[in-house]
Structure 1
Amino acid sequence: MSAQAPSIQTDDVQANVKPKAVAKADKHIWGIFIALCIISVIELYSASSREVASSSIGVMGPIIRHLVMLGGGAFLVYVLSKRHYSDFIPFTIVFACVSVVMMVYVMFFGEIVNGARRSLTILGIGIYPAEMVKLSAVLLIALVMTWNPNTKKVGVTSKAVIYSGFIVLLLSGLLIEQGLTNTLLLLAISYSMMIVGGVRFVDLLLLTLAYAACGGLFLVYLVLSEPKDIPADEDQQIEMVAGETAKKNPTRLDTWKARLGRHGQDSVPKWEIPAVGKNRQEILSYMAQANGGIYGVGPGNSREASRLPLAFSDYIFAIIVEELGLIGGIVVLTLYLWLLGRASGIASHCNRTYPALVVIGMAIMIAFQALFHMGIVSGVFPVSGQPLPLLSKGGTSIVVTAIAFGIMLSISRTATRQGGKKQDIRDEIDALPEQFGAENQMQL
């Protein structure tokens, strides 16, 4: 199937008129969003007990704030779902530039959270640009791969791989100081989009070697550089492994080594490891999941929520399993995988490459972040902070996830399908810039 863009009409009237919707917004995606919001409200109420006990915000304070954020997110999803997906093309560059500028600012002047500069405050609202960067990566990679289709074979050109790799390296360089998990998540998202988009194995192999070389150079830099002048906080101090000489200002490399060292102690069963300062969070999360059993102790009956630090964010899945049991955990996991499967179905039927890449990229971002969170909480991956999309407390995470859901719903409503009406396809092509006329050749 040829990837050559059809001729684009330049009539002024056509250029200013968006094509009508070709279908209703996907009910499955809407249902997944609503289901996650309901679970979030129920479980966050239990998980916020520690926060309530340590402040004067009142019993209902955390849940009211979370309801406001979810309500704003739902409104954002609805508004974006009513737009034509072509409106997100100029939005990509603006959003990516804002994300990068914020990340650069945070690197030098950001507020320190859990041992690293992670956030900035605007009008009293804390913003975590790392969440925005992941969304920017999806949109930018979709743009680059759409602009560089392989006109002779299925897939994209090597130029698309080079540009995508440069974007990933740039954004990874901004993320790496904040945490290794976000960088690995970004790599997983980009690899998945490239594989689905038809990148050749040889190009992927060369790209992997380039990533490895850059990662090696960064590791050498960390080893040779002096500790940064960042005040040591409680989280940093508990990351030091037993018997290690404590540093006044430990670096992120020290944190990573400590976490990997603890994770590699497979010879000792989890239930025999005592909960001390350096591993208190993960041990309490394992206790919460064990207490839940198959059916759970019921909503509001969590035993560990009042003891587990960050139960409302980085460890929300532990409270979900404790209260809803293994069955509840599987249901939550199924919702994210269902979203990924539904987005794959939509992408495979899109006529154009751009909406197909964007919809699958958004679903991959949400599903992979959920899998990373669950893997960390259950002990599969080393400890690291990663919110569970829509379920964890956090304004930036909710807004970014809402944008992703809104874009997916917009594409499900306005992107034409293979075998659809010819007039709808012509209208779609007329609404798109010339570079976006390539036919969908994704390997799904």
Structure 2
Amino acid sequence: MKQLIGNLKGDKGIWSFVALLALFSFMPVFSASSNLAYIGHGTGNTLGYLLKHLGHILFGFLIIFLVHNVPYLYFRSISKWLLPLVWAVLALAMIKGTIVGGANASRWIQIPFVGISFQPSTFAALVLFVFVARYLSKTREHPIDFVESLKELWLPVFITLILILPSNFSTTALIFSMIVMLTFIGKYPVKYIGIIVGSGILFLMFFILVSKAFPDAKMFSRVRTWESRIENFSTDKPDEDDYQIEKAKIAIASGMIYGLGPGKSIQKNFLPQSSSDFIFAIIIEEYGLIGGLGVLSLYLLLLFRFVIASHKANTLFGKLVVIGLGFPMIFQAMINMAVAVELLPVTGQTLPLISSGGTSIWMTCIALGIIIGVTKKEEEITQELKNAAKREEALQKLIDRELEDEDNVEEGYSIEDKASNPMNAVLNK
């Protein structure tokens, strides 16, 4: 175990908080998956769901370990070449996407022969954040030309978002807002950011108007869902999402301070997405306000470590990629919690590292692997500087010792020794 921990390089704080979140996830997932175990006349045995989640977590940590050993600067070039692949997968999902586990908020792709469902929008977000960090770090030393940035930065961004938007508005909005934040931090001109945000809003309005004109088109089918969720959030009109929110609120109210205890949730039997979208409500019901605040604290501590890692990064790309991959992770967690307490309408965003679901966990682990890789490089540079300082100090001590020995030898020579020294005879000639 000590050898294994010794092989884990990078920020130990990030490793620790990620491990704590993953370990904590087993109990609520094991408890909340009971309703899934009964769906379709099942046996009610939740052990299979626990083992499946264990497999997702273990493979996720393997991903972190493998990715964090790859020099993070490699991802700078890889992101550019992965974008066409991302567009192809998103287009395929738009055409042949399927619904998995009742999660109708996003489209999935079934990978042939392996039986694994894959959500391409999460992979697209990962690639896009690295791509934006790459562009901002590349152009930092030169004044940004707006027209050129439209072609090199914003055109790939909007192509990706357009392919995600018809099936998943919340993910599109999350990605776009995080990219705007990243460009602001990366010193992209604010006036240009304003133009881009305004253009994005205008395009969204145009998309909604076109959906009104062609309501039967497949690609516009999710627009009605967006409208109903926003309308139901602002009114008292009953809806399926309202049903989930009501059950989540009952679960939160039942938990009170200390909770009902592990595995004793009642509302998990009524919440359709109790192990994914609404798992935070189950956590509070079983572990109380203390458990909910504990989970929130872990995410905030993880955010704090991301800020430190970004500050310590030795390259601009490293700083931006930590922000671009780390902040959306925490922001997604906050959205999930806000939905559970009805501060936001239902979005379908999972709780990173806690909610069940392989794609979400694995994409989060890839992002964490890259972030830890940045901190690993910083540690390596710091260690190299320390080793160089030690070598220089050792060399200086050796030189001082040689000089001291020479002085001692010269002081010990007698006049006769100096006169009889053959070398002196040569020098005198």
Query: Does residue 251 of structure 1 match 2:221?
Result: yes
Q: What are the superposed Cα offsets for residues 157-180 of structure 1, whole Å, 9 maximum, x if unpaired?
A: 644476433233222111111121
> How far 1:208 moved relative to its partner?
1.4
CA contact (8 A) 1:350 1:416 kept: no
What is the identity percentage for the equivalent residue pairs of Structure 1 and Structure 2? Answer: 27
Taking the aligned partners of 2:269 and 2:48, their CA distance within structure 1 comes to 16
The residue that corresponds to 1:68 in the other structure is 55
CA contact (8 A) 1:107 1:117 kept: no
The residue that corresponds to 1:297 in the other structure is 260
Taking the aligned partners of 1:338 and 1:402, their CA distance within structure 2 comes to 17
Taking the aligned partners of 2:239 and 2:377, their CA distance within structure 1 comes to 54
The residue that corresponds to 1:148 in the other structure is 139
Q: What are the superposed Cα offsets for residues 224-249 of structure 1, whole Å, 9 maximum, x if unpaired?
A: 1131359xxxxxxxxxxxxxxxxxxx
1:154-303 equivalence runs, <5 A? 158=146, 159-160=148-149, 163-228=152-217, 251-265=221-235, 277=240, 279-303=242-266
The residue that corresponds to 1:13 in the other structure is none
Q: Which runs of 5+ in 1 are unaligned?
A: 1-22, 231-249, 426-444
> How far 1:188 moved relative to its partner?
1.7
- With CA pairs under 8 Å and 6+ residues apart, which has the higher RCO, 1 or 2? 1
Q: Letter of the aligned partner of 1:260 in structure 2?
A: I
> What is the RMSD of the two structures over their aligned residues, measured on CA atoms?
2.6
Larger Rg: 2
Could you say which structure has the higher helix fraction? 2
- The correspondence for 2:351, drawn from 388, 404, 415, is 388
The residue that corresponds to 2:335 in the other structure is 372
Query: Does residue 110 of structure 1 match 2:97?
Result: yes
Taking the aligned partners of 2:355 and 2:87, their CA distance within structure 1 comes to 24
> How far 1:91 moved relative to its partner?
3.2
Query: Does residue 40 of structure 1 match 2:10?
Result: no
CA contact (8 A) 1:92 1:136 kept: yes
Q: More deviation in 345-354 or 72-81? A: 345-354
Q: What are the superposed Cα offsets for residues 336-359 of structure 1, whole Å, 9 maximum, x if unpaired?
A: 222222112121222211111111
Gap change, CA 1:77 and 1:417, over 3 Å in 2: closer
Gap change, CA 1:57 and 1:406, over 3 Å in 2: farther
Q: Letter of the aligned partner of 2:91 in structure 1?
A: V
Gap change, CA 1:163 and 1:332, over 3 Å in 2: farther
Taking the aligned partners of 1:70 and 1:421, their CA distance within structure 2 comes to 34
1:59-138 equivalence runs, <5 A? 59-113=46-100, 114-115=103-104, 118-122=107-111, 123-138=114-129
> How far 1:424 moved relative to its partner?
10
Q: Letter of the aligned partner of 2:226 in structure 1?
A: W
Q: Letter of the aligned partner of 2:119 in structure 1?
A: Y
Taking the aligned partners of 2:274 and 2:362, their CA distance within structure 1 comes to 20
CA contact (8 A) 1:150 1:157 kept: no
Taking the aligned partners of 1:149 and 1:340, their CA distance within structure 2 comes to 25
The residue that corresponds to 1:438 in the other structure is none
CA contact (8 A) 1:355 1:415 kept: no
> How far 1:317 moved relative to its partner?
0.9
CA contact (8 A) 2:10 2:379 kept: no
Taking the aligned partners of 1:162 and 1:94, their CA distance within structure 2 comes to 16
> How far 1:293 moved relative to its partner?
1.1
Gap change, CA 1:297 and 1:105, over 3 Å in 2: same
The 3-state SS of whatever aligns with 1:145 is helix
Q: What are the superposed Cα offsets for residues 157-210 of structure 1, whole Å, 9 maximum, x if unpaired?
A: 644476433233222111111121111101121012112112222121111122
Taking the aligned partners of 2:379 and 2:185, their CA distance within structure 1 comes to 19
Gap change, CA 1:115 and 1:84, over 3 Å in 2: closer
The 3-state SS of whatever aligns with 2:277 is coil
The 3-state SS of whatever aligns with 1:305 is helix
The 3-state SS of whatever aligns with 2:130 is helix
Query: Does residue 26 of structure 1 match 2:11?
Result: yes
Gap change, CA 1:130 and 1:403, over 3 Å in 2: same
The residue that corresponds to 2:296 in the other structure is 333
Gap change, CA 1:305 and 1:165, over 3 Å in 2: same
The 3-state SS of whatever aligns with 1:85 is coil
CA contact (8 A) 1:281 1:309 kept: yes
Normalized against structure 1, the TM-score is what? 0.78
The number of residues matched between the two structures is: 374
> How far 1:289 moved relative to its partner?
0.8
The 3-state SS of whatever aligns with 1:295 is coil
The residue that corresponds to 2:422 in the other structure is none
Taking the aligned partners of 1:192 and 1:281, their CA distance within structure 2 comes to 31
Taking the aligned partners of 1:279 and 1:102, their CA distance within structure 2 comes to 33
Gap change, CA 1:253 and 1:57, over 3 Å in 2: same
CA contact (8 A) 1:109 1:117 kept: no
Query: Does residue 358 of structure 1 match 2:318?
Result: no
Gap change, CA 1:366 and 1:161, over 3 Å in 2: farther
Q: What are the superposed Cα offsets for residues 366-414 of structure 1, whole Å, 9 maximum, x if unpaired?
A: 1111111111121111112111111111111111011011111111011
> How far 1:360 moved relative to its partner?
1.3
> How far 1:117 moved relative to its partner?
6.3
CA contact (8 A) 1:316 1:388 kept: yes
Normalized against structure 2, the TM-score is what? 0.81
The residue that corresponds to 1:320 in the other structure is 283
CA contact (8 A) 1:320 1:329 kept: yes
